[in-house]
Amino acid sequence: MATLIALETARFGVPQWLWTIGFIIVKIAVVLAGVMLHVAYATYFERKVIGRMQNRLGPMIVGPYGLLQPIADGIKSFFKEDIIPTNADKPIFFMAPVLGLMAALSSLAVVPFFNGFVIANINIGLLFLFAMSSLAVYGVILGGWSSNSKFSFLGSLRASAQVISYEVPLGLSLVGVMMMAGSLNITEIVNAQSRYPGGMYIIAQWLGFFVFVVSAIAETNRSPFDLPEAEQELIAGFFTEYSGMRFALFFMAEYTGMIIMSSIAVLCFLGGWTIPPFVLKLLPFLGVVPGIVWFIMKLYVCIFFYYWIRSTLPRYRYDQLMAIGWKVLIPLSLANIVITAVLKILLHHAGTP
């Protein structure tokens, strides 16, 4: 890609840095547009999947097989009246959904979608993802606090406690992956996986993967850990008072968060855009399939898993949720770190990396 840019520069006489900046902006636009499209159709996919699992059809009216339903939903929420509670703390009320969506979208900057396509290939990619996912809680807390309503307040208290608690196992579960890859750069982690004989870290890090999946579901406030927005108890939790486009922003933030968590799972545990070497040896023709196809397929498997769990399991009680987080997941992830470290040292001394 760099040589291509150099050639173009020579042709038009435009300075190099302008090309670089323009190229980055085009990349950002492509990524944002692509992810927003997937967010819209993730809602459609969710309603279809859950409909099928509950023995009904899901959206069917708008367009063939209801395919235009997300667009109709978007237009509807855009033109709805924007209600602001009288006693709300207005600047914070306006800011909260934007903050939530911003934290979710800026994580996309370090996610490599296929080999070489990443907006910012930084050395601390995984830490950046942690930082951004720890900011997601601000949208929730501030939204609930500023709308000055009991339900929002309770919802946001629950949500912040839950998200803070589950951030710890989420971070610790990925430490095993960092140790195996020896890097925090996500592209580097994927490349290390393709060199690893199993091809995917899920084989060696199954314990870490289990902890990661459970805490990712809790971190994105999805069922069965959707206590912050439990419809039956709290109406809708922290965004009870939001309507119209602001509500849609919270909704988008939640689904973007889901996509981010799924793509971390794909990149760190499922091999990203690569396929395991032994599969490639068995079926060599799979090598011609571009990496982005594998990435999106794995991503949708993860998202399907989210929906599958949602339509299968009942909601946990709040004390159960906290007990799982602190008494089960954190010790498990610590054990995983210790086991990985010991095995790595033993194997290193035995000669095989």
Partner 1 sequence: MINQIFFFYFSAVIVAMSVMAITRRQVLHGVLYMLLMFFHIAGLYLFLNAEFISAVQIIVYAGAIMVLFLFVIMLLNLREDIRKKQFIAVWPMGLLVSSGILMVVLMSMLTVRTGTKGVWGIAQIERVTETVAVGTVLYMQYLFPFEVASLVLLVAIIGAIVLAKRKVK
Interface of this chain with partner 1, residues 49 to 88, rule: CB under 8 A: none
Which of residues 132 and 299 has its CB atom nearest to partner 1 in the complex? 132
In the bound complex, what is the minimum distance in angstroms from residue 179's beta carbon to partner 1?
12
**Binder to partner 1 among 156, 165, 173, 220 (CB under 8 A)?**
156
**Binder to partner 1 among 153, 196, 247, 294 (CB under 8 A)?**
153
In the bound complex, what is the minimum distance in angstroms from residue 23's beta carbon to partner 1?
19
Task: Tell me if 164 contacts partner 1 by CB under 8 A.
Answer: yes
Phi and psi at 117, nearest 5°, equal -100, 95
Task: Tell me if 167 contacts partner 1 by CB under 8 A.
Answer: yes
Task: Tell me if 181 contacts partner 1 by CB under 8 A.
Answer: no
Report residue 81 CA to chain centroid gap: 30
Distances in whole angstroms, Cα of residue 249 to Cα of each of 46, 95, 99, 286, 338: 18, 11, 10, 39, 41
Task: Tell me if 122 contacts partner 1 by CB under 8 A.
Answer: yes
In the bound complex, what is the minimum distance in angstroms from residue 297's beta carbon to partner 1?
31
Q: DSSP readout, 92-140?
A: HHHHHHHHHHHHHHHGGGG--SBTTB-S---TTHHHHHHHHHHHHHHHH
| Segment 24-33 long-range contacts (CB within 8 Å, at least 24 positions apart) | 24/119, 27/117, 27/119, 28/109, 28/119, 31/108, 31/113, 31/119, 32/105, 32/108
In the bound complex, what is the minimum distance in angstroms from residue 184's beta carbon to partner 1?
6
Task: Tell me if 161 contacts partner 1 by CB under 8 A.
Answer: yes
In the bound complex, what is the minimum distance in angstroms from residue 181's beta carbon to partner 1?
12
Say how many residues touch partner 1, by CB under 8 A.
25
Task: Tell me if 141 contacts partner 1 by CB under 8 A.
Answer: yes
Burial profile 303-339: b = 16 or more Cβ within 10 angstroms, e = fewer: beebbebbeeeebbebeebeebbeeebbebbeebbee
Contact residues: partner 1, CB under 8 A: 89, 92, 122-124, 127-128, 130-131, 134-135, 137-138, 141-142, 145, 153, 156-157, 160-161, 164, 167, 183-184
